[in-house]
Structure 1
Amino acid sequence: MDARAIIGWNLRRLRVAQGLSQERLALAAGIDRAYVGRVERGSENVTIATLEAMAWALAVPVGHLLAEPEPHAMPPAPLKAGRKPAR
């Protein structure tokens, strides 16, 4: 797995685990939502500053975005479609 795919894998895994949409993550990190999608698909070369912003928004160390997944790990599942219920 190349570095862009690893970052995308981890970004999606962490984002979904926290119940964040791509839009909410992008807003918290100060980046474009479409950019988050491209990073998750592994089609963007991410700068260190952007990695740091996404890690900050997810409240995890930057290293969590760079950790290689286990060899037989299942791909991260998507969030459920639709809006969250009002609080």
Structure 2
Amino acid sequence: MRLRGIVAKNLRRLRHASGLSQEELADRAGINRNYVGMLEREEHAATVDMLEKLAEVLEADPIAFFEASDISA
């Protein structure tokens, strides 16, 4: 799996674990809801700055976006 896919799956996993919708996450991060969906569908690759912002909202370590071991297919 490509790194973009790993980040996308972890973003979705972390968002669900936080109980947030894409719209709620986007609102709290100050970004467009469509962009969150595009990240989760691997249509866009997030910048390091964006991952840092999303991690802050999700109360997660930014490294969690890159962990391949917790991803289910």
TM-score w.r.t. structure 2 length? 0.91
Give the CA deviation at 1:51.
0.4
Give the CA deviation at 1:58.
0.1
Query: Unpaired segments of 5 or more residues in structure 1?
Result: 76-87
Distance 1:74 1:68, change over 3 A: closer
RMSD: 1.3
1:25 alignment counterpart: 25
Taking the aligned partners of 1:16 and 1:10, their CA distance within structure 2 comes to 10
Amino acid in structure 1 at the alignment position of 2:17: A
1:48 alignment counterpart: 48
1:74 alignment counterpart: 72
- Identical-pair percentage: 42
CA-to-aligned-CA distance 1:16-56 (integer Å, 9 cap, x gap): 11110000001111111000001001110211110001000
1:59 alignment counterpart: 59
Give the CA deviation at 1:68.
1.1
Amino acid in structure 2 at the alignment position of 1:67: E
TM-score w.r.t. structure 1 length? 0.77
Amino acid in structure 2 at the alignment position of 1:23: E
